[in-house]
Amino acid sequence: MLRQALKDKKRIVVKIGSSSLQHPQTGELDYIKLDVLVRELCNLRNQGKDVVLVTSGAIAQGKKAVNLRTDNKNEDAIAVKQACAAIGQARLMTTYQKIFSEYNQLTAQILMTKNTILDDMNRENAVNTFSELLKLGVIPIVNENDTIATYEIEFGDNDTLSAVVVTLIGADMLLLLSDIDGLYTDDPRKNPDARFVETVEKLDEHYMQMGKASTGSSVGTGGMNTKLNAAKIATNAGADMIIASGADVKIIHRIMDGQNLGTLFTAKKDENFCLKDFLEEIHPSHS
């Protein structure tokens, strides 16, 4: 029953990570996968649903464009990341817009920082922009504004960012496409006895402990820990959330058709949940 209810979702945020967007051998964009992703999102839109895409990949694409080797000692310097983000974000959006236009779908770019949420006026402006775009039938494409983000105002990962978008637009569904097919009792890459968790109806400390910060990808920044933080934000905001594998992006329509794929976190709306406090707890500002 829980899965069948997903068919009726009206406003969906889909997040896809860097490692799901590119060829692992070269780091170049996987155009076939991007094309299928865009087709899936346009199909949801054609069903009358509101759709928002949260995409990673700007820094990775920028590094690739300027031939920055992964063993470059300066690659983690924030100025280098910001420069790569500026180059890569433009390339990424150009690619998305070209493919979306083939399906006659308008898109818009929205770049956010943590300050978009912490500042009341910024937050209100963001809400108004999203609202108007969705009214117009546009698919907003969201990323962190890495070019201007500093340690004080960065989300640190797009899992958190996608959950924040859910709260801003009142979405009822968040789909995190990842390099892992859901939540396990332990890291399945290290522990063969790790068991898959199909449904989480109450995201308590027992489940949060399963998200020890680990990630199998050298490209992205978010491990299971960040995904569980995202689940906490999204479910408290009244949205269901699913973590699923981004290896085959056709999984989007299968999940939305009610198939039992990925780990489902069911909504538990909490009016007392304070997003600002939670963001500060998981990504403290540095003074």
Q: DSSP per residue over 76-123, as a string? A: TSHHHHHHHHHHHHHHHHHHHHHHHHHTT--EEEEEE-THHHHSHHHH
Residue 35: how many CA atoms within 13 Å on its side-chain side?
Answer: 4
Written as six digits, the tokens of 279 are: 């963001």
pLDDT at 214: 47
Task: Give the global pTM.
Answer: 0.91
pLDDT at 73: 58
pLDDT at 58: 85
Residues paired with 108 in a beta bridge: 140
Share of the chain above pLDDT 70, in %: 90
- 3-state SS of 190-227? CCCCCCEECEECCCCHHHHHHHCCCCCCCCCCCCHHHH
Domains of the chain, by residue range, sit at 4-282
**Count of other CB atoms within 10 angstroms of residue 26:** 9
Whether residue 217 has pLDDT greater than 60? no
pLDDT at 70: 55
Using 50, 70 and 90 to split pLDDT, how confident is the model at 75? low
Contact 148, 82 (CB under 8 A): yes
Contact 230, 279 (CB under 8 A): no
pLDDT at 74: 60
Contacts (Cβ under 8 Å, ≥6 apart) of 61: 29, 84, 87, 88, 89, 91, 92
Contact 196, 262 (CB under 8 A): no
Q: Please name which of 215, 218, 237, 216 lies closest in space to residue 226, comparing C-alpha atoms.
A: 215
pLDDT at 218: 40
Q: Please name which of 182, 173, 132, 165 lies closest in space to residue 44, comparing C-alpha atoms.
A: 173
Q: 1.20.1260.10, 3.40.1160.10, 3.90.920.20, 3.60.20.10: which CATH number matches 4-282? A: 3.40.1160.10
Angle between helices 58-65 and 78-102 (to 10 degrees): 100
pLDDT at 26: 86
pLDDT digits (tens, 9 = 90+) for 101-119: 999 999 999 999 888 888 8
Using 50, 70 and 90 to split pLDDT, how confident is the model at 20? confident
Using 50, 70 and 90 to split pLDDT, how confident is the model at 219? very low
Q: Please name which of 177, 160, 34, 161 lies closest in space to residue 107, comparing C-alpha atoms.
A: 34
